[in-house]
């Protein structure tokens, strides 16, 4: 089940990132070839990018593969690495959970806000982004449980592929 959730999350993030790239590419083509632009391309690209980022945060949080400086972590033993990872993931969860809640509050308070040209309701975009934020918080919680339960002497969830 977890593998399917991670694969789905990865697909959603990749799809929305692809949509941002495609929208930008086609807008540039239309602008140079026809001296016009795709209506709402800028608003749409912002919304799609926010969705891609929030769903990507979910993956990076669970996998512990986000960009970070590991000066202390690299010089610690396995037990302390695990403790540092648990602490860092708890802090991440403490930031992600309220963020997810606040995005849902924004969705509830949006009313009838729409994009400027096509009049597309923004609450659809915000709702998809809010689901991504919830998935990020849930996967952070799952990572804490995985890290806490890892007591095997070999390579575990706290080991990183690069070291």
Query: Which pLDDT value is given to residue 63?
Result: 83
Average of per-residue pLDDT values in the chain: 86
- Using only C-alpha atoms, the chain has a radius of gyration, in whole angstroms, of 19
Among the listed residues 116, 59, 128, 124, the one whose alpha carbon sits nearest the alpha carbon of residue 92? 59
Joined together, the tokens standing for residue 155 give 């390579």
17-76 tens-digit pLDDT? 999 999 999 999 999 999 999 998 999 999 999 999 999 988 888 887 665 667 788 888
Give residue limits of the domains in the chain: 2-66+75-149
Q: Please, which residues have CB within 8 angstroms of residue 162's CB and are 6 or more apart in sequence?
A: none
Which pTM does this prediction carry? 0.76
Distance CA 114, CA 135 (A): 25
Per-residue model confidence (pLDDT) at position 117: 86
Phi, psi of 93 (to 5 degrees): -65, -40
The residue-averaged pLDDT of 96-106 equals 94
Residue with tokens 């959603």: 12
pLDDT score recorded for residue 69: 60
d(CA 47, CA 21): 13
140 has pLDDT over 90:
yes
């Amino acid at each position: 089940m977890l593998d399917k959730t991670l694969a789905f999350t990865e697909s959603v993030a990749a799809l929305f990132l692809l949509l941002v790239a495609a929208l930008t590419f086609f807008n540039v083509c239309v602008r140079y070839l026809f001296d016009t632009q795709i209506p709402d391309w800028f608003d749409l690209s912002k919304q799609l990018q926010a969705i891609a980022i929030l769903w990507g945060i979910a993956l990076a949080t669970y996998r512990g593969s986000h960009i970070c400086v590991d000066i202390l972590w690299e010089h610690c033993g396995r037990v302390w690495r695990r403790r540092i990872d648990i602490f860092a993931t708890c802090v991440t969860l403490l930031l992600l959970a309220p963020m997810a809640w606040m995005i849902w509050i924004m969705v509830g308070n949006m009313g009838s806000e729409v994009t400027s040209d096509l009049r597309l309701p923004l609450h659809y975009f915000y709702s998809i982004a809010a689901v991504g934020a919830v998935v990020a918080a849930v996967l952070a919680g799952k990572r804490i449980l995985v890290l806490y339960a890892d007591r095997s002497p070999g390579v575990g969830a706290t080991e990183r592929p690069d070291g």
